[in-house]
Amino acid sequence: MSESPSTAGPIDNAERVHTLDALRGFALLGVFVSNSLNWFNGRSMLPREQALALAASPLEVAVSSLFALLIEQKFVTLFSLLFGLGFALQMTRAEGRGTSIVPVYRRRLLVLLGIGLVHMFAIWVGDILSTYALVGFLLLAFRKASGKTVLVWAAVFLFVVPIVYSMGQRMLPVLMDGAAETERAQKVTREQDAARRAAFLAGLSSDSVVTSQQANVRYGWTGLSNPGRPILLSIILGRFLLGLWAGRRGLLQDVERHRPLLRKLAAWGLG
């Protein structure tokens, strides 16, 4: 018996968007290079003041800035955009079969969340899959939104929310508790963060696999309450929404048709 046209499953090679596949591989390579430097240089394990002191020389500042601009932010952004674009493609195909994307996509997000949590707590704390899965559930809420609405909300999550949240983090404690008390609380927070990083590094340096993984779990668990996490979630959702918009427009499905726009976007992105 042939498969029902309404059943979700792997697509034929002829249906694949090879440009999208190539960009995914390109983005993964860039993310690998970025993570290799950010995690393996050891500075993420040092107290913030010590890490900043090591990065204070003019040459270090210049190289770090170029790396962040041309490698880290470009490839991480591209990978996030492709996640949203992939959602748009899956939604279009589901609608073509006369079905809803929601049940299938929820299951896929749950699987992705499970893989991410195993990766975070059993392998390595530097996980993004679980975060993508959680934000992916929010992406479902925009599946019926118009293109204009998607772009407006993308701008809100990319710019407005991070700016307002950052200002609130800085100003509210001062207004509520005063500058002196805020400075004291920030000093305690910095000391606690330095101790947490030192304990993590000591655990990773242990000859015991059990001790190393215990340190990984503790560091990952406490990191979930990072006060900057809402900004990360907001920016990721904004990028997902831009990818959703691009997927609906068919920017990568029909490159020739959209070449002028893609050239403008490339010039703006590199500028």
Per-position DSSP letters for 184-236, written without gaps between them: HHHHHHHHHHHHHHHHHHHHHTSS-HHHHHHHHHHHHHHHTT-TTHHHHHHHH
Q: How many C-alpha atoms does 259 have within 13 Å on its Cβ side?
A: 2
- Tell me the C-alpha distance between 20 and 82, whole Å: 8
Residue 102 is assigned to a structural domain of this protein: yes
For position 113, what pLDDT does the model report? 98
Instruction: Identify the residue whose tokens are 């991480």.
Output: 76
For position 175, what pLDDT does the model report? 93
For position 214, what pLDDT does the model report? 95
Reference 35, options 158, 136, 128; nearest CA is 128
- Tell me the C-alpha distance between 248 and 235, whole Å: 20
Residue 10 is assigned to a structural domain of this protein: no
CB neighbours of residue 224 within 10 Å: 10
Residue 7 is assigned to a structural domain of this protein: no
For position 3, what pLDDT does the model report? 40
- Write out the residue range of the structural domain in which residue 258 sits: 17-270
Global pTM value: 0.90
CB–CB of 255/18 below 8 Å? no
For position 12, what pLDDT does the model report? 64
Tell me which residues of the chain have a pLDDT lower than 70.
1-15, 271
Q: How many C-alpha atoms does 169 have within 13 Å on its Cβ side?
A: 13
For position 18, what pLDDT does the model report? 82
Residue 8 is assigned to a structural domain of this protein: no
Residue 141 is assigned to a structural domain of this protein: yes
Residue 4 is assigned to a structural domain of this protein: no
For position 81, what pLDDT does the model report? 96
For position 4, what pLDDT does the model report? 42
Q: Give how many domains the chain has, as a whole number.
A: 1
